[in-house]
Structure 1
Amino acid sequence: MYTGFIAFLVAVGAVVLAEMGDKTQLLAMAFATKYQAGKVMLGVFIATVFNHALAVAVGNYITRFDGAQIWIQGIASLSFIFFGLWTIRGDKLDGEENRTTRFGPVITVAVAFFIAEMGDKTQLATIALATKFPENAVGVLIGTTTGMLIADAIGIIIGVVLCKKIPERTVKLVSAGAFMLFGFIGTYQVATQQLQLGMTTVLLLMLVLLILTAGASYYLIKKEKEAGHSDTYPSCPCPEDQIKKQQEDK
């Protein structure tokens, strides 16, 4: 029971971090300019349950290979550093917000979200979490689903309902930093507890990893600045979108 609750909390925190500024959060904000927020969140919930259930199943299956446990845990820990770098790089919509179906807003959002989540950062993070908590698959699934709903609700409320500009660079850097911290802690634990490397070797390994991560982060931040990306996420819908939303909600 206790470990299940820990798995739930870690999953919530990790996915909230992964989702902040992620493509699917931007997608939720885009759909909220067209449909009622409640319908958007219901669609997000449906898509997330199916998508993350698949991810948890994959992660749980991987852990059944007993001889590869050390490799699995090592890769899972390093993947969090990779997710941090991915967060710095950022995401953008590739037209998913224009996807429509004949089955109404909820199904439209659910289909678009399910497809957008395939291979996305939050789905991969869910797989990594499932490998870290193989005995608490349900806790991971509930936690990642809750985290997705929290992050997308934050985006919709702040960016669309309250019409406030969301500081993109600040959000990305904080989220990336937290992810990298988790990754370094996990890597240290694998090196000392499972690989049982000497402290000198561990410190050297961590130093090399820190240098590589810092260099990659600097490159991505510099590249983003050179590209002249805006420091805020899109917020309020234009008047035409508001009128269209009102008409479709009737």
Structure 2
Amino acid sequence: MMDSPDSLFSSAFFSSAVAVTLAEMGDKTQLLTLFLTLKFRNRWAIVLAIVLATLVNHGLSAWFGVWLGDRLELWLSDGWIDWLLAGSFMAMGLWVLIPDKDDGGESRFLAFGAFFATLVLFSLAELGDKTQVATVLLAAEWQQPMLVTLGTTLGMLIANVPVIWFGQALLQRTPLDRVRYVTSICFFAGGVWILLM
């Protein structure tokens, strides 16, 4: 998939930002962000920790996605790769319909303060999360780990920074079920788009 740098930036970066923004709506990390904001009230420390945790987590995930995409190319013909990636996007579309459960046992990290508690808890919450899987899939598709990482990090910030500043009022007005349905449709559309490319 050799495109010009401009189209690569707009495609890999933009699609990654949009996919993660949508996948993050109603996710447990959004609820964790609200909890941390109410607990610490140090908004900038929380934002910086989210940026760092996301860059590390999604950066590693993107590099794994590129590695996985390279291996799939060796093992499968081009047609099969497209079908596998499209199926993965559609599976993500089903996965986002399942609401996250709140994971307990995180209180021991709260003694670390706003920045370190957010860094640790956010990193743990992202392990195996929908947005991490989406990052792997996006990097496997685009083979641009830096642009995918930057896009997914921006998507994470778009979804979580308003929660930091507007908190509970914003989440109470957001119809999370509708957001999940729209997100699911977007992932299915992404799968169809991969097949039509």
Please state which band the TM-score falls in when normalised by the shorter chain. Answer: 0.7 to 0.9
> Could you tell which deviates more after superposition, 92-101 or 58-67?
92-101
Residue 142 (structure 2) aligns with: 133
Q: Which has the larger radius of gyration?
A: 1
Identify which of 66, 76, 100 aligns with 1:60: 66
1:46 is aligned to 52
Distance 1:184 1:95, change over 3 A: same
- Mark the CA change 1:104 to 1:72 in structure 2 (over 3 Å): closer, same or farther: farther
Match of 1:94 among 97, 100, 103: 103
What does residue 131 of structure 2 align with? 122
Is 2:154 the partner of 1:149? no
Task: Indicate conservation of the 8 Å contact 2:66/2:145, yes or no.
Answer: yes
Structure number with higher helix proportion:
2
Q: Distance in 2 between matches of 1:101 and 1:33?
A: 12
Structure 1 unaligned runs (5+)? 194-250
1:184–1:53 distance in 2 versus 1, CA, 3 Å = same
Q: Which amino acid aligns with 1:182?
A: G
* Aligned pairs (5 A) from 1:152-171: 152-160=160-168, 164-171=172-179
**Percent sequence identity over matched residues?**
36
Residue type at the aligned position of 1:108: A
Higher relative contact order (CA 8 A, sep 6+): 2
CA distance in 2, matches of 1:155, 1:130: 27
Q: 2 CA distance for matches of 1:162 and 1:144? A: 22
Which is further off, 170-179 or 60-69? 60-69
Correspondences of 1:105-116 after superposition (within 5 Å): 105-116=114-125
Deviation for aligned residue 1:92: 2.1
The CA deviation string for residues 126-182 of structure 1, in whole angstroms up to 9 with x for no partner, is 000001111x22111110111101111233344336574321211111111111111
TM-score by structure 2 length?
A: 0.86
Deviating beyond 4 angstroms after TM superposition, the runs of 4 or more aligned structure 1 residues are: 161-164
Question: May I ask how many residue pairs the two structures share in their alignment?
Answer: 188
Aligned-residue Cα RMSD (Å) equals 2.0
Q: Note if contact 1:31-1:97 (Cα within 8 Å) is conserved in structure 2.
A: no
